[in-house]
């Protein structure tokens, strides 16, 4: 079993969803004069590990539930393809979440009880997304939890462990990366809509159809662009982060790929493009906030 298999199973293209909100929360903490680098670094590591653990858990549960089959259009899943045994993948996600909890112990020591609840809820959501009797992703709730945990929870939580106070601005800023993370999920759900329907996985794309998923993607894209504008107008936030919103409106190839999608197409360009947009959005927002 090669290291490449485990790296691919970790789904590196999804990791920006874990990194960007931490980066943005840290930028806001920096401008407020409460930056604390050990907490910022620990938050980053814990966030990435939770994302990897979630990806391993999804790989395991989708395989044992029979959701991933030979008809899958997207990237190969290690467990379903027989590259990793179910027992090994189960052990991998347990160990990864345990490492995240170990790092989180420092954050709990610094931030107290609120961080306990954030950490437990994040790990539980990662497991229950495809695990348990009623997985969140199988009943159409995945989008809501992605928005919450890769958005306001991540940015405001990152700010909290540094400044030891809650920031309304950080929470609202988190809606930007949260919406783009939902857009990433929507691309996956749109691509897999036929297979998910057969497997009984009732994502929003399955429940309401591909047209709904396309509109969901567009609204997430526009919503992320609007967040810096709202912060500037309502909270008199710095103007430079508006560039991040502008990039959303200018960089349209992934939107065009989603809107013109037809069943059977892989949507790889939209997935990669949305990931790059998320990274650019987070970096430009963060740099604009601190300059």
Does the structure show a pLDDT above 90 at 59?
Answer: yes
| pLDDT of 75 strictly over 80 | no
- pLDDT one-digit tens code per residue, 175-224: 999 999 999 999 999 998 988 888 888 999 999 999 999 999 999 999 99
Supply the pLDDT for residue 1: 59
**Cβ-contact 116, 30 below 8 angstroms:** no
Average pLDDT value over all residues in the chain: 93
Q: In the chain, where do the E strands start and end?
A: none
Average pLDDT of the residues in 249-255: 94
Mean pLDDT of 107-111: 96
Q: Which residues contact 131 (CB under 8 A, 6 or more apart)?
A: 57, 61
What count of other Cβ atoms lies within 10 Å of the Cβ of residue 71?
10
- Look at domain 3-290 and name its CATH class: mainly alpha
Residue ranges covered by each domain of the chain: 3-290
Say if residues 146 and 125 touch (Cβ distance below 8 Å): no
| pLDDT score for 51 | 96
**CA 22 to CA 225: how far, in whole Å?**
19
Q: Which of 13-17, 77-81, 250-254 has the least mean pLDDT? A: 77-81
* pLDDT category of residue 232 using cuts at 50, 70 and 90: very high
Q: Which residues of 232-251 are buried (b: 16+ CB within 10 A; e: fewer)?
A: beeeebbebbbbbbebbeeb
CB neighbour class for 189 (10 Å; exposed up to 12, middle 13-18, buried from 19): buried
Q: What is the mean pLDDT of residues 35-60?
A: 97
């Amino acid at each position: 079993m090669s290291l490449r298999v485990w790296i691919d199973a970790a789904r590196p293209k999804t990791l920006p969803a874990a990194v960007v909100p931490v980066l943005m929360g840290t930028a806001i903490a920096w401008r407020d004069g409460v930056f604390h680098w050990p907490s910022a670094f620990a938050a980053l590591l814990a966030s990435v590990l939770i994302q990897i653990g979630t990806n391993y858990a999804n790989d395991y549960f989708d395989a044992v539930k029979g959701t991933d089959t030979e008809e899958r259009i997207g990237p190969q899943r290690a467990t379903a393809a027989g590259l990793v045994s179910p027992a090994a993948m189960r052990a991998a996600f347990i160990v990864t979440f345990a490492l995240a909890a170990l790092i989180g112990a420092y954050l709990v020591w610094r931030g107290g009880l609120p961080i306990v609840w954030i950490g437990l809820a994040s790990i539980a959501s990662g497991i229950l997304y495809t695990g348990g009797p009623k997985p969140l992703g199988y009943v159409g709730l995945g989008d809501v939890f992605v928005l919450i945990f890769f958005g306001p929870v991540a940015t405001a939580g990152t700010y909290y462990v540094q400044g030891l106070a809650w920031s309304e601005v950080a929470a609202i800023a988190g809606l930007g990366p949260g919406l783009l993370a939902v857009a990433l999920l929507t691309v996956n759900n749109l691509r897999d809509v036929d297979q998910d329907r057969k497997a009984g996985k009732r994502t929003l794309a399955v429940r309401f159809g591909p047209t709904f998923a396309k509109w969901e993607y567009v609204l997430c894209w526009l919503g992320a662009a609007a967040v810096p504008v709202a912060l500037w107008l309502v909270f008199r936030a710095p103007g430079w982060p508006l560039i991040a919103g502008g990039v959303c409106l200018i960089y349209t190839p992934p939107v065009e790929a989603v809107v013109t999608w037809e069943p059977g197409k892989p949507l790889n360009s939209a997935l990669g493009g949305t990931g790059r947009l998320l990274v650019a959005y987070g970096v430009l927002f963060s740099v604009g906030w601190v300059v």
